[in-house]
Amino acid sequence: VADFPTEFIPASSDGRLIFIGDIHGCNVEFGQLLDAVGFVPSQDKLILLGDFISKGPNSIAVLEMAMKYNAACIRGNHENTLLRRYAKKHGQNTLDSGDYDPSAGGFVHIMADEKKIIKKATQEQIEYIDSCPLILHIPEQIFGPDCGDVSACHAGLMWNVPTLEDQDPAVLLYIRTLLPPDNSTASPTRDGILWNEVWNEYQETLPPSQRRTVLYGHDAKTGLVIKKYSKGLDSRCYKGDYLTALVAKRDGLGGWVNELVSVKC
């Protein structure tokens, strides 16, 4: 868990926080989205919600852009898998190649394009990926005082785990659904109820001071899902749909306003 640096939180409406869903190596659309939102590097701050590499045409170019603009980042399952394979290649551990995926029933093997990224990436680019936390906590009520602070992660959070530090890393990387009847266990498949539905219902039972809004990606099949206490921004760019940003800025009256901006992929 990392705290978002306070110096990157805009003090006025001149600067913005720009959250971007799964880029998956789609460097051209990444650039087009920055143009569409009118990105100003000296004022705005980018936050990438994980899986910004792999599957698409040019993950190295995405890494170059992210580092050029000092983007904050979340570790997604593809970044995590790549780092584990990289570590094994350099004798830093003895783990299976790949990462643990509950939906696959065990370890999944690294993708061919991730092997290419390992070969092409610079040490600085690997270190950038390694610097991405599993959760980025943003102590701002971006979506209003009733919605609490913001936590950004790749896949989602368990509603019944009281602290961010106690969240299961596998859940943070892979969660999509919860198992009935009590919805207290992450599902190894797509069976069950979507985690964000339970999350939103649970937040309503809490006093506003204890609520939390989650920004996440990962679930391309479900797509763009905007709820009061959760904002899912994976809109299947690498499949030819859209790349989406949620742009938040101060309204000049002590609050925040936000909008969604998408480009066709």
Mean pLDDT by 10 residues, the chain (265 residues): 94 93 97 98 97 95 98 95 83 53 56 83 94 96 96 97 94 94 87 95 96 96 96 96 97 93 98
Report the interhelical angle of 59-68 vs 27-36 (nearest 10°).
40
Q: 262 — phi, psi (to 5°)?
A: -130, 155
Which pLDDT score is estimated for 187? 84
CA pair distance 193, 183, nearest whole angstrom: 8
Which pLDDT score is estimated for 97? 43
CA pair distance 67, 52, nearest whole angstrom: 12
Residue 135, SS3 per DSSP: strand
- CATH dotted code for 2-264: 3.60.21.10
- Do 161 and 183 contact (CB within 8 A), yes or no? no
Q: What's at 264, amino acid-wise?
A: K
Q: What's at 103, amino acid-wise?
A: S
Q: Strand 230-232 to strand 225-226: parallel, antiparallel, or no bridges (unpaired)? A: antiparallel
- Taking phi first (over 0 means left), then psi (-120 to 50 degrees means alpha), and beta for anything else, what does residue 200 get? alpha
Which pLDDT score is estimated for 94? 44
Tokens of residue 216, six digits:
């996440």
Q: 4 — phi, psi (to 5°)?
A: -65, 125
Residue 134 is given by DSSP the state S
Q: What angle do CA 164, 73, 132 make, to 5 degrees?
A: 65
Residue 86 is given by DSSP the state H
CA pair distance 255, 67, nearest whole angstrom: 30
Q: How many CB atoms lie within 10 A of CB 230?
A: 22
Which pLDDT score is estimated for 108? 56
Which pLDDT score is estimated for 139? 93
Residue located via tokens 């896949």: 155
Look up the pTM and report it: 0.93
Q: How many CB atoms lie within 10 A of CB 257?
A: 15
